[in-house]
Chains A and B, each alone.
Chain A
Amino acid sequence: MGTRRLALAGAALAATLLAACSQGSATNPDAGSGGTAGGASVTLKFQSLQDQPAAVEAVKGIVDSWNSAHPEAKVELIQAGWDGIYDKLVTQFNGNAAPDIIHYEAASIVPFARDGYLADLTSKVPADLKSDISDGIWKSVTVDNKVIAMPTELQTYVVFANKKLLEASGATIPTGDSMTLEQFRALARATTKDGQFGLAWGLKSPTATFMSLALTSGGTFFTGTGKEAKINVGAGELAVPKLVKEMAYTDKSIDPVSLTQSGSQALASFYAGKAAMTVQGSFQAANIKKDAPAGLDWVELPPLAGSQGTAQAANPQTLSVNADSPNADKAAEFVAYFANAENTAKLNQADALIPASKKAQDLILSSTGGKDGWDMTMKSAQGLTGAPFLAVDAYTQWKDTIATPSFQKYLANQIDDAGLTQALTEGFTQVNR
């Protein structure tokens, strides 16, 4: 009797669950748009990766304003996450189920463009927007002379400093348009004393930082594009890793623990007054404002400059259009609308990132008055330029399997300059076969 009752209860539960299952399966997964392209209203699917609540709201606002002005081409916002998005997109494109509008980043979207999955936006970019974004940033989203994505949000690497600790050391707090690597090193040395370090630099995954800051010393790492790319590791490429190593082992001005931490983890030493400065992504200004202890008087220092100025790699977040979308033109129109100065200013301010357009940068500067580090962040944005690594097919594989472990060994003083050069060069030859 008991068993029969259990079986009946089980059957009832299974029926309920199956019913729940079918309720949750109403969505048509087929590629891109609903509706038709022939004049009737269409729905454009927009897969967004925004994660910060304020940025999510900003994107919703942009989509809502588009939808109310364009009832013929309604945009449906699909919120997805960054984690695993590459694999998801690979499957979506191969399964012909990719959305019409795709949010991603330049370094990772380029392979999809090479495979022919992304629409050419060259003629769809409004002339005023085209001229308002620097050539360096356009270069980062151009493949075979075609604009394959709209750059929307960027970051730079900047130095945050504890004003009181800098002043107490007797050092002059740098102002102006840039701070040389030598000035930076001297400042870290001057503020290192009594168990306090001059700098906390989270270099657990150092490749992106080194690739970007290498441009300040003319280090490009790669020449050529795609499979034909060649690697070159010379003085410019090694300038920043060498600086970090000398600061850590000769000057002892870098908190050695921070070299094994992520950027966010390294902030803890900065907050606790154990480190006078920290190098971080510019977006951390918002977190410092939110999480720093009440008494911490912090300031963002001028952008770092090497022998070639303040250049840094532009690897913007992007919006692309699915080449197979039946409504690619409308989708491109939405992308252009999304990228206008007012919209990207709102979005980047909410996300603490840097808009690609100069007009949007000026809007943020005027609405914030340059406070909370925005003035220096915008100065650092002037150096953003296209980086050769974005056009290298094997870059991601080289970065994950060769560069990051080699840089980690170098920072742990397990290999020297020659060893690092050899590891990076031979490793690339191996992965680029």
Chain B
Amino acid sequence: MNRTSTPVKTLQYLALAAYILFLGFPLLWLVSASIKSSQELAALDMSLLPKQFHWDNYAVALQKQGLTRSAVNSLVVSLLSMVFVVLLSMPAAYALARFKGRLRAVGVGWILVSQVFPVILIIIPLFIILRDVRLVDTLMGLVLVYTTFTMPFALWMLQGFVAAIPTDLEEAAAIDGASRFQTLRRIVFPLLMPGIVATAMFAFVAAWNEFFFALVLIQSPENYTLPVALKMFVGGEGKVALGPLAAGAVLATIPSLVVFSILQRRLTGGLLAGSVKG
């Protein structure tokens, strides 16, 4: 059994720490900007640590632009989109991965083609359709749009996970007398868990960060989602309320961090749920 030597291990940790710092630095800078006064943010000499802690930015961020209400809207829309995307893409991905034939090729082609259209081209017809079914300016309309636009990629992603599960396992289950539904529930589903979690995370983040559809389809401030509310800190003539914007952005990351911390345990947990004997 090979044991890594201490100097190599130290170097590995140093490289890891440097990589984490590289990834985390923008976030650190954001947190730092959120507790700086506008004078300090406008000064030429910049430092990561603020000279004075300026918590007012958080008070301004929470009071203005209805940030709390927008956060709740974002959370509702993102969670529902995530649930719908996972529920719809799971059986579809299984069918795409397992059933060979001409329909499959057409289906896969259609998924790829659907990714090609720029959003700006379809926004007006989409708006008119949603208006006709009275879903403009509603969170449900947004959920529907997010589910529709996240589905193709989620499907593509999930069918890769399904394809990686050996068919031998399903055949073995069938020999043991399991129905297709039982096979799916007891064999495929547990093994697919990491893929489902990854897809869920993708769907959640896509909905959480989405700006353009929310901007155009939502008309009333009480229905704004977080990206739209945060953009309102950026004004005309290049005016930006940088401190409150940074504070708002820090607060906006909290719900997604919570969702991720809950889901990430399942990301690896599913890997241990089943296996093929070597």
A interface residues with partner B (beta carbon < 8 Å):
10, 13-14, 17-18, 20-22, 24-25, 27-30, 49, 51-53, 78-84, 87-88, 90-92, 94-97, 105, 155, 262-264, 267-269, 271-272, 274, 281, 283, 287, 290-293, 317, 353
Closest to B219 in A: A29
Is residue B205 within 8 Å, beta carbon to beta carbon, of the partner chain? Answer: no
Using known A-B contacts A10-B83, A20-B72, A95-B131, determine if residue A29 contacts B237 with beta carbons closer than 8 Å.
no
Cα–Cα distance between A272 and B228 once the two chains are bound (Å): 34
Among A25, A105, A155: residue with most chain B CB under 10 A: A25
* Given contact pairs A10-B83, A27-B219, A78-B221, A94 touches B38 in the complex (Cβ within 8 A): no
Chain B window 54-78, contacts with chain A (Cβ cutoff 8 Å), 1 for yes, 0 for no: 0000001000110000001100110
Residues of A within 8 A of B83 (CB): 10, 13-14, 17
- Asked if A27 and B223 make an inter-chain contact with CB atoms under 8 angstroms apart, the answer reads yes
Cβ-neighbour of A283 out of B136, B141, B239 (below 8 A): B239
Contacts of B15 in A (CB 8 A): none
Specify which chain B residues have a CB less than 8 angstroms from the CB of A52 in the assembled complex. 235, 239
- B39 contacts chain A at the CB level, 8 A cutoff: yes
> Cβ of B123 and Cβ of A87 under 8 Å apart?
yes
CB pair A17–B79 under 8 Å, yes or no, is yes
Given A78-B219, A84-B211, A84-B212: A95 in contact with B228 (beta carbons within 8 A):
no
Q: Which residue of B lies closest to A273 (CB)?
A: B44
Write the chain B residue with the least CB distance to A288.
B42
Is B138's beta carbon under 8 Å from chain A? Answer: yes
**Extra 13 A-B pairs, beta carbons < 8 Å, given A13-B79, A27-B220, A52-B235:** A29-B219, A51-B232, A51-B233, A80-B232, A81-B232, A81-B234, A84-B212, A87-B123, A95-B127, A97-B136, A262-B238, A272-B45, A283-B239
Inter-subunit contact A22/B215 (CB<8 Å): no
In the assembled complex, B258 has its CB within 8 A of some CB on chain A: no
Asked if B222 contacts A27 (CB within 8 A), the reply is: yes
**Complex-state Cα separation, A29 to B77, whole angstroms:** 19
Determine which of B139, B222, B237 lies in contact with A21 in the assembled complex, contact meaning CB atoms within 8 Å: B139
Closest residue of chain B to A353, judged by CB? B237
Given known A21-B139, A84-B212, contact A317–B42 (CB-CB < 8 A): no
CB contacts (< 8 Å) of B238 on chain A: these are 262-264, 281
The answer to whether A88 touches B216, judged by C-beta atoms less than 8 angstroms apart, is: yes
Chain A positions within 8 Å of B76 at CB level = 17, 20-21, 24
| Assembly CA distance A91 to B145 (angstroms) | 16
Count of CB-CB pairs between chains A and B under 8 Å: 148
Asked if B124 and A27 make an inter-chain contact with CB atoms under 8 angstroms apart, the answer reads no
Closest 6 pairs (CB-CB, A-B): A51-B235, A25-B138, A272-B44, A29-B137, A81-B232, A29-B136
Q: When chains A and B are docked, how far (Å) is the Cα of A30 from the Cα of B140?
A: 17
Considering the chains assembled together, what is the distance between the CA atoms of A21 and B134 in angstroms?
14
Q: Are B215 and A30 in contact (CB under 8 A)?
A: no
Contact of B236 with A by CB under 8 A: yes
Taking CB atoms, residues of chain B closer than 8 Å to A10 are: 83
Distance in angstroms between the alpha carbons of A91 and B83 in the assembled complex:
29
In the bound complex, what is the Cα–Cα distance between A84 and B77 (angstroms)? 21
Residues of B within 8 A of A82 (CB): 234-236
Q: Determine which of A78, A264, A281, A290 lies in contact with B240 in the assembled complex, contact meaning CB atoms within 8 Å.
A: A264
Smallest beta-carbon distance A258→chain B, Å: 11
- In the complex the two chains form, what is the Cα distance from A105 to B127 in whole Å? 24
* CB-defined A-B contacts under 8 Å, sample of 14: A18-B80, A20-B139, A25-B140, A29-B136, A30-B131, A51-B234, A78-B219, A81-B232, A83-B215, A97-B219, A105-B236, A264-B240, A271-B43, A287-B239
How far is A199 from B80 in the complex, measured between Cα atoms in Å?
54
Please tell me if the beta carbons of A94 and B137 are within 8 angstroms of each other in the complex.
no
Can you list, as one digit per residue, whether each of B130-172 has a CB less than 8 Å from chain A (1) or not (0)? 0100111111110100000000000000000000000000000
A299 and B228 alpha carbons, distance in the complex (Å): 37
Contacts of B38 in A (CB 8 A): 287, 290-291
Q: Which residue of A lies closest to B185 (CB)?
A: A3
- A282 nearest CB neighbor, chain B only: B237
In the complex, B128 has a CB within 8 A of chain A:
yes
A268 engages B138 (CB within 8 Å): no
Q: Which residues of chain B come closer than 8 Å to A155, judged between CB atoms?
A: 237
Provide the bound-state CA to CA distance between A83 and B38, in Å. 22
Q: Decide if B219 touches A268 in the complex (CB within 8 Å).
A: no
- B residues less than 8 Å from A97 (CB atoms): 127, 131, 136, 219
Interface string of B97-138 (1 = CB under 8 A from A): 000000000000000000000001001100110010011111
Is A95 touching B128 in the complex (CB atoms < 8 A)? Answer: yes
Q: Which chain A residues border B232 with CB–CB below 8 Å?
A: 51, 79-81, 83
A263 to chain B, nearest CB (A): 6
Given contacts A78-B219, A84-B211, contact A94 B39 (CB under 8 A): no
- Residues of the B chain whose Cβ atoms lie less than 8 Å from the Cβ of A29: 131, 134, 136-137, 219
Q: Report the separation of the CA atoms of residues A24 and B216 in the bound assembly, to the nearest whole angstrom.
A: 16
Q: How distant is the Cα of A159 from the Cα of B83 in the complex, in angstroms?
A: 56
Query: Cβ of B220 and Cβ of A78 under 8 Å apart?
Result: yes
Residue interface bits B209-247, CB-to-A below 8 A is 1, else 0: 001100110011111000010011111111111000000
Asked whether A81 and B228 contact (CB < 8 A) given A91-B216, A263-B238, the answer is yes
Residues of A near B223 (CB, < 8 A) are 24-25, 27
Please state if A317 and B219 are interface contacts (CB–CB under 8 Å). no
- Min CB distance B141 to A, Å, is 7
Instruction: Report B255 CB to chain A, min CB distance, Å.
Output: 13
